[in-house]
Structure 1
Amino acid sequence: MTKFGRFDFSGITRRRLLIAAAWVALVGLVVLGGMVHYSETPNFCNSCHIMKPYYDAWQGSKHNKIRCVECHYPPAAPRTLIWKKFQAMSQVVKYVTRTYSSKPFAEVEDASCLRSGCHSARLLEGRVVTPRKIRFDHRPHLSQVRRGRQLRCVSCHSQVVVGKHIEVTYDTCFLCHFKGRGEGKDLKPLGGCLGCHELPTGAFRIGNMTYRHTDFVIKQGVSCGNCHLDVVRGKGEAPKDRCFTCHNQPEKLAHYGDSPFLHENHVTKHNIACFHCHQEMTHGHPEAAALPSISGSTATAAAPMPAAHAGAALTFECSYCHQGKHAGQLEMYSGKAAALGLPEMPSPMYLASVDCVGCHYAETASGIEAEFTGKTEKASEKSCVKCHGPKFKDILEETRTELRKTIAEVSAKGLAARGAVAESELKGKERTALSAALGRAERQVRFVQAARGDHNVYLASEALRRADRTYSEAGSKTGAELADLSALPLLSGGYCATMCHPKLGVKIPPETVKAFGKTMPHKAHTDMKGCVACHELGTHKVAPLRKDVKTTCRECHPDMK
């Protein structure tokens, strides 16, 4: 051998050099192999401080005898495993260069869970019972599409649960089984209550009474939801702002609302936990509710509960039973009653954003009675005077009186119209159509009565006028002589002039007006025909001439052009 730089290899034979190189290579391979082996141990994962919460969760779980790579590296060909190893080494580089995320993300594929020696027989086990006494069958959840979603193992067995690892997160169950399935007594859980829960067979006591679920559910056919109304909370909505946590590309954000696409790419392909996107839903007995007490403070509802219901309490959600109590009044006040065939005609006070408490501030109970019954704020003429002055005194009661009178007379006319149709010789489609029209008219009258027409006298007047017109048409078609109610202020349109204007000193209708180039005696015409003969009545100060008003004029003035 010759010299190589400052080193003299003349005394070393080629054979010895090869042997030395072989030993170096062997030691290198052993070290490399050891490093590769060590990199596959949980201790190596825990060498990064950001992995400590995950390592602690793994160490306290049922999987603490299983290496991380057994789950995070699915069974695959060597080429795939090398790629996975490269990905893992890239995480090491990120850690060394301080470019890592404090919340690492990793996926566990179904193949890892179902590999030989792990849970390969899980799909064949049929129904199992969880520690929380929930019946569950893996096969339909993994092998079938559920509500349009193809679930995976980690859809329910979350990747990380604080203090646990790869264990069931029941929040996912609640989302699939309860979202969009109704609320309160209308809740219809996917699979039904008994699809997951065993019906308790034992007796339990509440107070001094003994109960058995079987007496109600099996013998009486009572639904679980009849008693357990308040056991589901939350709606599981997926607000768009949660998308921005991971995405900032407009083309990806454009898919918001495309539910099948989102679930396929997040749940099926990438194991994203449901509650990264959805708001939480909970299921179980609520905590004790705070109730008002006689003293005016609050008390906690407390009643002896059976052991199986430990911690349970009623929440007293009144809306489960008392539903739509003011729906009619709100429709009347807002003037939005298109379902009854009425035009949109909001009250002027609604347009002025006057809330209910603007008029409802008179207490209906006081003293000893209020101590137990509470109080309801009723509308009072004091509110009219408070806002509009003393001239408005008695207007509310006069409006109510006029409404009661008109409703009574229109209702009586409706009964007469029904009788006339029943006794008529009308048949087939004509009879059916007329009966349907009478049904609509009757609903309009009931609407004014039940929704309190004084919330919006303009819409109330329109509804009663349309009903009266329908009854009159029924009389004409059957040949029956029905009462002519056209002179009633709420039907003629003269209610403004008779109930409001005189009190306020407003001279409407005026004695004369200009129309079609002529001066006409306006008040005389209103006394003869009523406002609606010529005007389309809307809300306050909205009374345009009817498009066919000249036809009305020609009834008395045939030479009019």
Structure 2
Amino acid sequence: MEVDLSTDEKLSLWRRALLLIGIETGPRRGWRAHIRPRFFLLLLGIVALGFVGLVGFAAYSTSPSFCKSCHIMQPYYDAWATSKHSMVPCVDCHYPASTPRTLLWKKFQAMSQVAKYVTRTYSSKPFAEVDDSSCLRKGCHSTRLLQGRVVSAKGVLFDHRPHLEGVRYGRQLRCVSCHSQIAIGRHIEVAWDTCYLCHLKDRTSGRKIEPLGGCQGCHLLPDREIKVQNVTYNHKEFLAQHPVACESCHQDVVQGTGEVTQDRCFTCHNEPKKLERIGDIQFLHQNHVTKHNTACFHCHRELRHVVTAAGTKKLNYDCTLCHTDMHDLQREFYRGVGAKGVPPMPSPMYLSNVDCVGCHLEKKQTEVDVGEATTYVGNEKGCVDCHGQAYLGILPETQKLVDETAAKLEAKLEELKKATATATDPALSREANDAVHDATFNLRFIIKSRGVHNIYYAAQILRATDASLTGVAEKLKAKVDDLSELPVISGAFCATMCHGKVGVKVPAETVKFRGKDMPHKQHIDDGQACNVCHTFGVHKDVKLKPIAVCKQCHEDMQEDPEPEKVEDK
């Protein structure tokens, strides 16, 4: 049965409720509120209870059990509980020993994390900062810097002072630069990847491994015996008698490069201004390592430092560890550099980005014909694949022509050496010796690097060498062979070896020369070689010789007028 209370009855209920908390009102009081002492006592009790609750919550929020109340923190809590820091509350490390204002700010941040958890806007991968002041506070590791060199459980020597005091190689390290949790289950342990990056990145060159501080800067020589099959070995005793480098046996201890690729930056940043500074190494380390606890592996690719167990090494080494500079001559010759007294002249194929594998296509078995080892050597297949069947045979003929020309120049060089030995003029003798020295180098350069790698450069070298030897021979009044008309030296090889075989068309029957029609084809039909009128250098760079050459046949040809001289006014 519903009861419909009148207005007076409702007001009566409100007055009774207010009276319970110490507020009296009604007609007797002229409808004015009268505050009894009970109200103040009750208010004081509520405030006291709230304060006690707030203090209690603040105290509870500093306990590790509060941290694990968030499910994403359980793995980190478990790692902490089994670590050496299990007796240290979380806040002692994650809250720096600083002013109350800083602590309040940290509390505000913690409450914001609670809000994120409640609203489900949190990340499943929490990020925390640990300040050095937390580690070095009194009662923790305040004397760590004074301990000097210590030995880790892995037998690694370490001294905290030089790593934490001052800038080292452009980097200011922090405690958490080396001590962090990069994997679940290892709480604030040494992240050895950091050590490897600092000490080993860019410290290998060929067969040389030169770690920062040296191998024995971190490692003690093992003083225990190692038995490999029937041989007992002790590092300390052996190295005391034999100065053998560590990399003689441990060449594969550095695996990986530790490089930083730009795609790593995009995982955290997308602001153009920040991305523009990817090459500023000092800025990057200052903001990621010194100011913030960004683990090295977030940016660097893995670099491992391992020792392979005896008898399990795969020997997957680059050939250049032992065979250094084996093809430097060929590389330089292909690029058109290295000869003495000859300007650079890259091969047209080099300028077209043709790599070694474009021509070295033939598999050649090793000399002993044992195993499956093969070497790829150059053959005509590369020529035909790119240029067609018309080029078949040009490769061996070209190499033969270069070798024959070089052999004749070597004979000419020997004759000049004899004449130089009898020279009486000191200045002329020095000039002749310099020419002999350069010619000897250039000829060996061509022979060792194989002239076909850059026939145009080979022709230039042979031409310059012949001209140099001829010039010195004339001064010494020595009789030497004139080799200037040889195809490679004169440039005629272009027409006889390539154009004639491949079918390169000569210009039209007539070409414009000095404003007149010149019967170009008639010169060819009359038996004139191309090099009679033209000089040859870079591929397809054919130039006319001076007019004086033309006048040898055409006596009535006029010299080119000299340009008018402009006098200063």
Matched, 1:346 2:347: yes
Matched, 1:195 2:221: no
Q: Indicate how the Cα distance of structure 1 residues 283 and 481 shifts in structure 2: closer, same or farther if over 3 A, else same.
A: farther
Matched, 1:41 2:38: no
Residue 426 of structure 1 contacts residue 478 of structure 1 at CA under 8 Å; is this kept in 2? Answer: no
Q: Indicate how the Cα distance of structure 1 residues 207 and 499 shifts in structure 2: closer, same or farther if over 3 A, else same.
A: farther
TM-fit CA distance, 1:187: 2.6
Which residue is equivalent to 2:122?
A: 100
TM-score (norm 1): 0.82
Counterpart residue type for residue 322 of structure 2:
C
Matched, 1:538 2:558: no
User: C-alpha separation between the residues in 1 aligned to 2:180 and 2:429?
Assistant: 64
Which residue is equivalent to 1:322?
A: 323
Residue 509 of structure 1 contacts residue 523 of structure 1 at CA under 8 Å; is this kept in 2? Answer: no
Aligned length: 531
Q: Indicate how the Cα distance of structure 1 residues 104 and 553 shifts in structure 2: closer, same or farther if over 3 A, else same.
A: same
| 1:143-542 alignment runs, 5 A limit | 143-214=165-236, 217-286=239-308, 305=311, 314-333=315-334, 335-337=335-337, 342-348=343-349, 356=356, 359-365=359-365, 370-372=369-371, 374-381=373-380, 392=391, 394-414=393-413, 441-475=439-473, 481-504=479-502, 515-516=513-514, 517=516, 518-519=518-519, 522-523=523-524, 531=531, 534-539=534-539, 542=540
Residue 136 of structure 1 contacts residue 196 of structure 1 at CA under 8 Å; is this kept in 2? Answer: yes
TM-fit CA distance, 1:153: 0.5
481-490 or 193-202, larger mean C-alpha shift: 481-490
Which residue is equivalent to 1:290?
A: none
Which residue is equivalent to 1:291?
A: none
Counterpart residue type for residue 62 of structure 1:
K
Q: Indicate how the Cα distance of structure 1 residues 230 and 482 shifts in structure 2: closer, same or farther if over 3 A, else same.
A: farther
TM-fit CA distance, 1:30: 1.9
TM-fit CA distance, 1:37: 0.8
Q: String of CA shifts for 1:233-254, please: whole Å, max 9, x gaps.
A: 2222111222222222222222
518-527 or 244-253, larger mean C-alpha shift: 518-527
Structure 1: runs of 5 or more not aligned = 288-303, 306-310
TM-fit CA distance, 1:216: 6.0
| 1:67-78 alignment runs, 5 A limit | 67-78=89-100
Residue 421 of structure 1 contacts residue 474 of structure 1 at CA under 8 Å; is this kept in 2? Answer: no
Which residue is equivalent to 1:550?
A: 547
Residue 417 of structure 1 contacts residue 475 of structure 1 at CA under 8 Å; is this kept in 2? Answer: yes
502-511 or 268-277, larger mean C-alpha shift: 502-511
Matched, 1:115 2:137: yes
TM-fit CA distance, 1:17: 3.6
Which residue is equivalent to 2:18?
A: 7
User: C-alpha separation between the residues in 1 aligned to 2:532 and 2:148?
Assistant: 74
For residue 80 of structure 2, the aligned residue among 54, 58, 77 is 58
TM-fit CA distance, 1:461: 1.7
TM-fit CA distance, 1:353: 6.6
Which residue is equivalent to 1:89?
A: 111
User: C-alpha separation between the residues in 1 aligned to 2:127 and 2:113?
Assistant: 11
Q: Indicate how the Cα distance of structure 1 residues 450 and 48 shifts in structure 2: closer, same or farther if over 3 A, else same.
A: same
Q: Indicate how the Cα distance of structure 1 residues 83 and 493 shifts in structure 2: closer, same or farther if over 3 A, else same.
A: same
Which residue is equivalent to 1:130?
A: 152
Residue 442 of structure 1 contacts residue 467 of structure 1 at CA under 8 Å; is this kept in 2? Answer: no
Counterpart residue type for residue 549 of structure 1:
P
- Asked which structure has the greater CA Rg, the reply is 2
User: C-alpha separation between the residues in 2 aligned to 1:423 and 1:33?
Assistant: 107
Residue 23 of structure 2 contacts residue 39 of structure 2 at CA under 8 Å; is this kept in 1? Answer: no
Counterpart residue type for residue 318 of structure 1:
C
Counterpart residue type for residue 167 of structure 1:
E
187-196 or 446-455, larger mean C-alpha shift: 446-455
User: Residue 376 of structure 1 aligns to a residue in which SS?
Assistant: strand
Which residue is equivalent to 1:298?
A: none
User: C-alpha separation between the residues in 1 aligned to 2:430 and 2:273?
Assistant: 55
Residue 345 of structure 2 contacts residue 538 of structure 2 at CA under 8 Å; is this kept in 1? Answer: no
Q: String of CA shifts for 1:487-525, please: whole Å, max 9, x gaps.
A: 221111111233344445668699997644344764499
Residue 230 of structure 1 contacts residue 317 of structure 1 at CA under 8 Å; is this kept in 2? Answer: no
Counterpart residue type for residue 402 of structure 1:
L
User: Residue 136 of structure 1 aligns to a residue in which SS?
Assistant: strand
Residue 116 of structure 2 contacts residue 122 of structure 2 at CA under 8 Å; is this kept in 1? Answer: yes
User: C-alpha separation between the residues in 1 aligned to 2:120 and 2:86?
Assistant: 29
User: Residue 191 of structure 1 aligns to a residue in which SS?
Assistant: coil
Residue 235 of structure 1 contacts residue 280 of structure 1 at CA under 8 Å; is this kept in 2? Answer: yes
Residue 362 of structure 1 contacts residue 379 of structure 1 at CA under 8 Å; is this kept in 2? Answer: yes
User: Residue 165 of structure 1 aligns to a residue in which SS?
Assistant: coil
User: Residue 535 of structure 1 aligns to a residue in which SS?
Assistant: strand
User: C-alpha separation between the residues in 2 aligned to 1:423 and 1:231?
Assistant: 60
Q: Indicate how the Cα distance of structure 1 residues 7 and 177 shifts in structure 2: closer, same or farther if over 3 A, else same.
A: same
Residue 148 of structure 2 contacts residue 159 of structure 2 at CA under 8 Å; is this kept in 1? Answer: yes
Residue 91 of structure 1 contacts residue 100 of structure 1 at CA under 8 Å; is this kept in 2? Answer: yes
Counterpart residue type for residue 117 of structure 2:
Y
User: C-alpha separation between the residues in 1 aligned to 2:301 and 2:111?
Assistant: 35
Residue 511 of structure 1 contacts residue 522 of structure 1 at CA under 8 Å; is this kept in 2? Answer: no
Residue 358 of structure 2 contacts residue 382 of structure 2 at CA under 8 Å; is this kept in 1? Answer: yes
Which residue is equivalent to 1:296?
A: none
Matched, 1:139 2:161: yes
Structure 2: runs of 5 or more not aligned = 1-11, 25-33, 561-569
Counterpart residue type for residue 486 of structure 2:
L
Residue 184 of structure 1 contacts residue 229 of structure 1 at CA under 8 Å; is this kept in 2? Answer: no
User: C-alpha separation between the residues in 1 aligned to 2:436 and 2:102?
Assistant: 75
TM-fit CA distance, 1:214: 4.6
Residue 200 of structure 1 contacts residue 214 of structure 1 at CA under 8 Å; is this kept in 2? Answer: yes
TM-fit CA distance, 1:206: 3.2
TM-fit CA distance, 1:460: 2.1
User: Residue 65 of structure 1 aligns to a residue in which SS?
Assistant: coil
User: Residue 51 of structure 2 aligns to a residue in which SS?
Assistant: helix
TM-fit CA distance, 1:57: 2.0
User: C-alpha separation between the residues in 2 aligned to 1:313 and 1:277?
Assistant: 29
Residue 235 of structure 1 contacts residue 281 of structure 1 at CA under 8 Å; is this kept in 2? Answer: yes
Q: String of CA shifts for 1:153-182, please: whole Å, max 9, x gaps.
A: 111112443211111011111111112223
User: C-alpha separation between the residues in 2 aligned to 1:415 and 1:552?
Assistant: 32
Identity percentage of aligned residues: 46
TM-fit CA distance, 1:439: 5.3
User: Residue 31 of structure 1 aligns to a residue in which SS?
Assistant: helix
User: C-alpha separation between the residues in 1 aligned to 2:168 and 2:302?
Assistant: 20
User: Residue 164 of structure 1 aligns to a residue in which SS?
Assistant: coil
User: C-alpha separation between the residues in 2 aligned to 1:396 and 1:280?
Assistant: 46
Residue 177 of structure 1 contacts residue 189 of structure 1 at CA under 8 Å; is this kept in 2? Answer: yes
